[in-house]
Every structure is written in C-alpha cells, then in structure tokens.
Amino acid sequence: MPLICLVRHGQASFGADDYDALSDLGRTQATAVGHELARRGLRDPHLMAGTLTRQHDTARLIADAAGFKQPLNQDARWNEYDHLALLARYSSSSQPSPSVQDMLDDALLAWMRDPGAVGGQSWAAFAEGAAAALAELAVVLGRGRDAVVVTSGGLLAALCGTLLSLPHEGVVALNRVTVNASVTTLVVGGSGTSLLTFNEHAHFAGDRRHLLTYR
C-alpha cells in the first residue's frame, strides 16, 4: 500500500522582513528530515510541495539529503493559510497577556466558526482544498509507490482533523503542537486513506534535540 509522508517545512524566519524564507535552523532541520526519510527506504517517492518558499526550499533540501532524483511537483492547495491576515481579522484573546501562539489559536478557532473568508478563502474551502489535493495524490501513486509532501502545520492539522472527524478545537490542538520538519504518515488502502502516525520527530531527539522547534 502506498505511504504518504507529509512533512512540515523547516523553521521559517519569524520576525524577519521575509517570514517565508527558511531560517538557518530551518535549513538544518530540512536536511535532518531528509536523512530520516532516506533511512525509511521509500519506494520511488513522488515529491510534492506547496508553492511557498519555505515549503519548496525544504523539499529541495530533503531531496538533496535523501538522494531523491524525482522531479519536484508543486500545488498551491498544499499552501498554509495567511496567518497574518488571520491575526489582523480576529485579533483578540481571552488570556490576560496572550502569547502569539495564544492569539493564533483564538484567531484560527474564530475563522473556523465564521463563514466569512480570510485572504479570499473560508476555513471550509481551505480544508476541502487540502482533502482534494490528497485524494488526487493517492490516485497518482497507484500501487507500490510512496510520496513525500512538504506542507505546513495548519494544513496538516486540517487533513488530520478530516481523517479523524475531529471538532474544531481538536484541529487547533493539533496545529499548536506540530513540530517543524516533523513527519505525519498516511497509508492508502482499499477503504481509503488513513492516518498512520502524526508529528513524528524522533530525528530531533538526543544530541539533536536542539533542532526541535514548533514555530
């Protein structure tokens, strides 16, 4: 059965002029997860990424580290939501001194409950686009071939929420704990696509624990 390894991009440049660029740590994380994917012996992996810089740069570093020679495909349906637009529209928190993560959690939940759009897209459309991209990928793979997809934490949470039929609060909880350059594995079988593992990051354990980041 085909395996689909969904990889969250490496750490972006939070607070810099260009958030979408990988930080130096993010580049190291991408190389580390590339070595981990090489160890797994994936079968002729189909390589896919969103169109954001941090996503396709992570994918190229993974391919270099793993020795993958397949072409890199890109699809904007794997892109992250616009977190800055989200915060601008729903900038409130029940916490007395909220962190950026608290504000993002509250804004994300507000967006899910609001039929309106952020950046021209509703939460329902965002989640449905992710599910459609996954369904198309499963068809492309057929039997006996695996895939590596570099995407983002919000999209990973949306897909896992759909596969597990989670409420909005559960999706927000998954989004909060997704590790940079972690691996979430799906298996494609006769009954459809199922979640096998979520947020694997053992490649950042032990003497590589300093590579572990969430934002």
Q: What local confidence, expressed as pLDDT, does residue 88 receive? A: 87
Which class is domain 3-79+142-211?
A: alpha beta
Which of these ranges, 40-44, 158-162, 182-186, 187-191, has the smallest mean pLDDT? Answer: 187-191
Give the Cα separation of 154 and 67 in Å (integer). 28
Q: Token pair of 91, please?
A: 């900038």
| Band (94; pLDDT cuts 50, 70, 90) | low
What is the residue-averaged pLDDT of the chain? Answer: 93
Phi and psi, residue 90, nearest 5°: -125, 50
208 CB neighbour count, 10 Å cutoff: 14
Q: Token pair of 173, please?
A: 């909880």
pLDDT at 32 over 70: yes
pLDDT at 93 over 90: no
Tens digits of residue pLDDT in 129-160: 999 999 999 999 988 899 999 999 999 999 99
Q: What local confidence, expressed as pLDDT, does residue 74 receive? A: 97
Q: What local confidence, expressed as pLDDT, does residue 116 receive? A: 81
Phi and psi, residue 187, nearest 5°: -120, 135
Q: What local confidence, expressed as pLDDT, does residue 91 receive? A: 75
Indicate the pTM of the whole model.
0.93
Give the Cα separation of 29 and 31 in Å (integer). 5
Q: What local confidence, expressed as pLDDT, does residue 100 receive? A: 81
Give the Cα separation of 22 and 8 in Å (integer). 12
Q: What local confidence, expressed as pLDDT, does residue 15 receive? A: 65
Mean pLDDT to the nearest integer, 157-182 = 97
pLDDT at 211 over 90: yes
